[in-house]
Amino acid sequence: MHLPEIDKYSHLQSYLHSWDPRAKITSFSFLILSIVLLGKLPVALVGFVLASALVLSSRIPLRFIFKHLRWVLLFVSVFFILMSIFIPGQELYRFHSLVISQEGLQKGTLIAVKALTITLLIFPMIGTTPFPTTIKALEGLRVPHVLVQISAFTYRYIFLSIAEGKRMIIALTSRGFERKTDLHTLQTLGKLIGMMFVRSYERTERVYQAMVSRGYNGEMVTMNEFHLHGGDIGKAIFISLLGVILISLEVVL
């Protein structure tokens, strides 16, 4: 059964893979924040090129990246089209009553480029470390326990929920169910999703009981064993510098 895994290529060898995840997450977050702050298209394009270079250096297969990017592209293209049409400005092209403005096109492109750049950066940031280690790193970075635990539980149980959903769909199909665009399909899928929620709720009760059985009292006690080396700090400075350069370009240009 195919299950989505962001850390599928975390076993590869590269300077990104061998990097302390705490330093990696911190510096990449800074770079991402820098890109969020950009307002000029040429600078955003520079950011896109830098992100692409980082992705290439991560050795994660491009096919894997494109496969995951298609959904983001779909989402971004909706914004691109809407902004090009609805932001008023100098008319570039007219189709009946729809007008594509220069300002709209520019802003739409800027948003699309920034969104794609940020998504691209997720791969070298998260995809080069096993996800459990990333979660540990978040703990090491003092991210609030609740957020870390939500991530950990989601990662642990999402596979189980997907597998359970697939089994339920197989059981429906074996009793003649076919997905169509009709009310019956919607009702059936609605019931299926509802049942998945009920099962998840019951599982949470059992998981909680199993945790309490081993002494859990609402506070997570964990062991973190990360060691920051000079190289890790050097890499973090390098990635953070890219962010600083982008911000500087934004100010200067």
Partner 1 sequence: MRKVIEIKGLSYRYAEGTQALRGVDLEVFWGESMALIGPNGAGKSTLLLHLNGILRGEGLVKVLGKKLTKGNARGIRGKVGLVFQDPEDQLFSTTVFEDMAFGPLNMGHPKEKIKGRVTRALGQVGMEGYEERCPHHLSYGEKKRIALATVLSMEPEILVLDEPTSNLDPSARRSLIGLLKQLKLTKVVATHDMEVVAEVCERVILLSRGEVVADGGAREILTDVDLLEAHELEPPPVVRLFRQMGATEIPLTIEEVKPFILEEVLWEREGEISS
Residues that bind partner 1 (CB under 8 A): 131-132, 135, 152-153, 155-157, 159-160, 203, 206-207, 209-217, 221-223
Q: State the DSSP string of 142-189.
A: T--HHHHHHHHHHHHHHHHHHHHHHHHHHHHHTTT----SSHHHHHHH
Q: Which is nearer to partner 1, 1 or 253 (CB)?
A: 1
d(CA 10, CA 14): 10
d(CA 74, CA 208): 39
Distance of closest approach, residue 226 Cβ to partner 1, in angstroms: 14
d(CA 47, CA 35): 7
Q: Which is nearer to partner 1, 185 or 224 (CB)?
A: 224
Distance of closest approach, residue 55 Cβ to partner 1, in angstroms: 25
DSSP classification of residue 181: S
Token look-up 């999703």 returns: 193
3 SS3 class: coil
Q: Which is nearer to partner 1, 127 or 243 (CB)?
A: 127
Distance of closest approach, residue 222 Cβ to partner 1, in angstroms: 7
Distance of closest approach, residue 157 Cβ to partner 1, in angstroms: 8
Judge whether 91 and 101 are in contact, CB under 8 Å.
Answer: yes
Judge whether 104 and 88 are in contact, CB under 8 Å.
Answer: yes
Cα–Cα distances (Å) from 241 to 14, 101, 114, 117, 234, in that order, read 20, 35, 18, 17, 10
Q: Which is nearer to partner 1, 47 or 127 (CB)?
A: 127
d(CA 54, CA 127): 12
d(CA 191, CA 15): 48
Distance of closest approach, residue 149 Cβ to partner 1, in angstroms: 10
Distance of closest approach, residue 177 Cβ to partner 1, in angstroms: 26
Q: Which is nearer to partner 1, 106 or 200 (CB)?
A: 200
Distance of closest approach, residue 203 Cβ to partner 1, in angstroms: 7
For the chain, the maximum distance between any two Cα atoms, rounded to a whole number of angstroms, is 69
Q: Which is nearer to partner 1, 71 or 153 (CB)?
A: 153
Q: Which is nearer to partner 1, 198 or 233 (CB)?
A: 198
d(CA 20, CA 141): 12
